[in-house]
Chain A
Amino acid sequence: MSAQNGVAASASVPAGNIYDLGYRHYEGKRHGRWYAIWSLYVESMRGVWGLGRPMTAKAAPFILAGIYALPALFQLAFSAEISNEIASGQAPRLFAYDNYFATVSFFIVLFLVAQAPELVCRDQRYQVLPLYFTRALGRVDYAMAKLAALASALFIVLMVPMVALFIGGVLMKPDTLQAIGDELPTALPAIPTCALAAVSLASISLALSAFSPRRAYSAIGLIAYFLLMEIVPEVIFRVGDRAGWDWADKLVPLRPTTAISAATDWFFGKNLQGAEFPRTLGADAYVLAVLVSVVVFVGILVFRYRKVAA
């Protein structure tokens, strides 16, 4: 009887209390603002990929990034098959460093629509921002950490197929070391291209997403922007070409993904081909347009976070 009572008594004490050492003050090291920015960057990177979140949060980024890389991975898988045909000049290479983005860019827009709102809407919707802004983090710091996180994530997404193409290109040749030496110079411009594309697309989508605390509205806004800005300048250019408007061609670099495709050609030292590019504009005009759009959208993003309620 008494033993039972003893068991009951000890069971009723919360287990945590036994080890409760009381409150201890923290005397250790405290980092400053840059560490706070870095911490937010790391956390946001994890957030883009859904790490530390439930499985459902991981599905969208990994599937969409996978779809973007899929054509390159296919080409890699069948590189042995097609290498003979390519070598004998019977088949052109389907996907190369310089045309991959132009062909598959639709899926990168899907990735942005899914993940950019995730990064910035959550903190507004659940009012987490005041907790950041009452710590070491400034408003601009916050915006820049988020931008860096999305740009880094995008850079990874964009680079995976490039790496796959590189491996495929190397494996097609019998002497691997020799092949790496041959392939590298043609592959290297992919790095600055992907970096520019990542920063440009990240700044556009983050700046637009930040205007609504609702993920759905931000996503719709992004889809509307990428669709309209691709189609409207194109239509005006086509109409203007016939009607003889000499300013209509200047609008074409406003097309967000087309401008990046053209900038890719600039990095690879190619001339612009295709009916969608006006003859009046060189590839450098598109590089300039992309750079200007980065400045404009980073400006919009900073402006938004200066004003956002906290």
Chain B
Amino acid sequence: MLLVEATDLSKHYGQVKALDALDLQVEPGIIGLVGANGAGKSTLIKILLGVISPTSGSASVLGMDVVREAPEIRKVVGYMPEHDCLPPDVGATEFVSHMARISGLPRSAARERTAEVLRHVGLYEERYRQIGGYSTGMKQRVKLAQALVHDPKLLLLDEPTNGLDPAGRDEMLDLISRTGNEFGIAIVVASHLLGEIEQVCSFLLAIDAGRLLRAAPISAFTALTPVLAVEVEEGADRLAVALAGRGFKTRAEEACVLVALEDETIYDAVRDAVADLGLPLIRMEQERRRLEDLFRDPAPAAGSVQ
């Protein structure tokens, strides 16, 4: 069954097109949803939750229509909002088990699941203290815990690493990846940081200004390109000229020379050119496509060297 499906999905706020004719078909897994701030990530998530309804088009989650079957969807979905959503004057245990009951879990099951989930996200003794005294990292954990407490089939995480320091970010990403891979819970994680998405996701949706830029497995985004990067400590421009003189298409980029990888002879040519010029060679490697290129070029021509 498809995790998320959307046909011609649009959401307009007056003149502003938050989502513009989005077509999606996504299989279960850890799905990254990337885009700049205001690209429409949160709008899409809220439509999938049935909190706001689309202006036109339709969408479904786990085969259920977001407009007609919103109550059914909400039973099997956990949502972690982008903003703060925790009252400061209760403990994490009390708050999360309350949310579990709102999700329909009986009292004893709610208590049990709360203890389990808080341990899973890494909150131990401090879970009885008032949330107001927590660090940002701990608050993010509580937010994740409340989304996970009713054992959803799909987790929608909106900017889960917001406001975290690098260590906290790595822990949160690790938590997301364990939740998705070991527990078999499908996850849609929205972020404006490509580096994060790359670390945990198996599939990527890139949206920009409400339009779908690209939807593909992460490997497709970072595939090898027919470009050889040659890094030298100095004299990159001289090397570029020398290689161009041997009939290769080249482009100098800071300390790197990018050479079009047409056949195997290039390796020998680089070796000879570097030796002739007496340059200190650091690295020679086939270039991978980078995620950032997605947003840099409107139509990324596959690894061409201009």
Which chain A residues have a beta carbon within 8 Å of chain B's beta carbons?
Answer: 14-16, 20, 22-26, 28-33, 35-36, 39-40, 43, 52-54, 57, 122-123, 126-128, 130-137, 310
Q: Give the most central of B89, B99, B106, B130: most A CB within 10 Å.
A: B89
Q: Show 30 residue pairs from A and B whose CB-CB distance is below 8 angstroms, ordered by the A residue.
A: A15-B124, A16-B119, A20-B119, A22-B182, A23-B116, A23-B120, A23-B183, A24-B116, A25-B151, A25-B183, A28-B105, A28-B106, A30-B104, A32-B104, A36-B102, A36-B103, A36-B104, A122-B87, A122-B89, A126-B85, A126-B86, A126-B87, A128-B85, A131-B99, A131-B146, A132-B102, A133-B51, A134-B79, A135-B99, A137-B102
- Interface size class of chain B, counting residues whose CB lies under 8 Å from the partner chain: 35 or more
For residue B103, which residues in chain A have a CB less than 8 angstroms away from its CB?
Answer: 30, 36, 135-136
For residue A40, which residues in chain B have a CB less than 8 angstroms away from its CB?
Answer: 102
Contact A35 B90, beta carbon cutoff 8 Å:
no
Contact B89 A23, beta carbon cutoff 8 Å:
no
Contact B124 A57, beta carbon cutoff 8 Å:
no
Identity of the chain A residue whose Cβ is nearest the Cβ of B184 in the assembled complex? A25
For residue B75, which residues in chain A have a CB less than 8 angstroms away from its CB?
Answer: 30, 136
- Tell me, in angstroms, the Cα distance from A53 to B151 when the chains sit together: 27
The main secondary structure of chain A at its interface with chain B is loop
Identity of the chain B residue whose Cβ is nearest the Cβ of A33 in the assembled complex? B71
Contact A136 B85, beta carbon cutoff 8 Å:
no
- Tell me, in angstroms, the Cα distance from A270 to B113 when the chains sit together: 56
Measured between C-beta atoms, what is the minimum distance from A232 to chain B in Å? 37
The verdict on B98 contacting chain A, using a C-beta distance below 8 Å, is: yes
Contact A26 B150, beta carbon cutoff 8 Å:
yes
Contact B109 A57, beta carbon cutoff 8 Å:
no
Identity of the chain B residue whose Cβ is nearest the Cβ of A125 in the assembled complex? B87
- Tell me, in angstroms, the Cα distance from A20 to B77 when the chains sit together: 25
**Which one of B51, B77, B104, B130 lies within 8 Å of A35 (CB-CB)?**
B104
- Tell me, in angstroms, the Cα distance from A68 to B103 when the chains sit together: 37
Contact B51 A310, beta carbon cutoff 8 Å:
yes
Contact A31 B84, beta carbon cutoff 8 Å:
no
For residue B90, which residues in chain A have a CB less than 8 angstroms away from its CB?
Answer: 52-53
Q: Give the most central of A15, A20, A43, A122: most B CB within 10 Å.
A: A43
Query: Could you count the A-B residue pairs with CB atoms below 8 Å apart for me: how many are there?
Result: 98
Identity of the chain B residue whose Cβ is nearest the Cβ of A19 in the assembled complex? B119
Which chain B residues have a beta carbon within 8 Å of chain A's beta carbons?
Answer: 49, 51, 71, 74-75, 77, 79, 81, 83-90, 94, 98-99, 101-106, 109, 113, 116, 119-120, 124, 130, 146, 150-151, 179, 182-183
- Tell me, in angstroms, the Cα distance from A133 to B77 when the chains sit together: 12
Contact A136 B77, beta carbon cutoff 8 Å:
no
Contact B87 A136, beta carbon cutoff 8 Å:
no
Q: Give the most central of B98, B113, B179: most A CB within 10 Å.
A: B98
Contact B84 A127, beta carbon cutoff 8 Å:
yes
- Tell me, in angstroms, the Cα distance from A29 to B150 when the chains sit together: 11
Q: Give the most central of B77, B83, B90, B146: most A CB within 10 Å.
A: B90
- Tell me, in angstroms, the Cα distance from A136 to B75 when the chains sit together: 7
**Which one of B104, B109, B120, B130 lies within 8 Å of A136 (CB-CB)?**
B104
Contact B183 A136, beta carbon cutoff 8 Å:
no
Measured between C-beta atoms, what is the minimum distance from B121 to chain A in Å? 11
**Which one of A14, A131, A137 lies within 8 Å of B124 (CB-CB)?**
A14
Contact A39 B98, beta carbon cutoff 8 Å:
yes
Q: 3 closest pairs, A vs B, by CB?
A: A26-B151, A39-B101, A30-B104
- Tell me, in angstroms, the Cα distance from A128 to B83 when the chains sit together: 10
- Tell me, in angstroms, the Cα distance from A154 to B89 when the chains sit together: 23
Contact A23 B49, beta carbon cutoff 8 Å:
no
For residue A53, which residues in chain B have a CB less than 8 angstroms away from its CB?
Answer: 89-90
Contact A127 B81, beta carbon cutoff 8 Å:
yes
For residue A136, which residues in chain B have a CB less than 8 angstroms away from its CB?
Answer: 71, 74-75, 102-104
Contact A57 B102, beta carbon cutoff 8 Å:
no
**Which one of A22, A31, A122 lies within 8 Å of B104 (CB-CB)?**
A31
- Tell me, in angstroms, the Cα distance from A32 to B88 when the chains sit together: 28
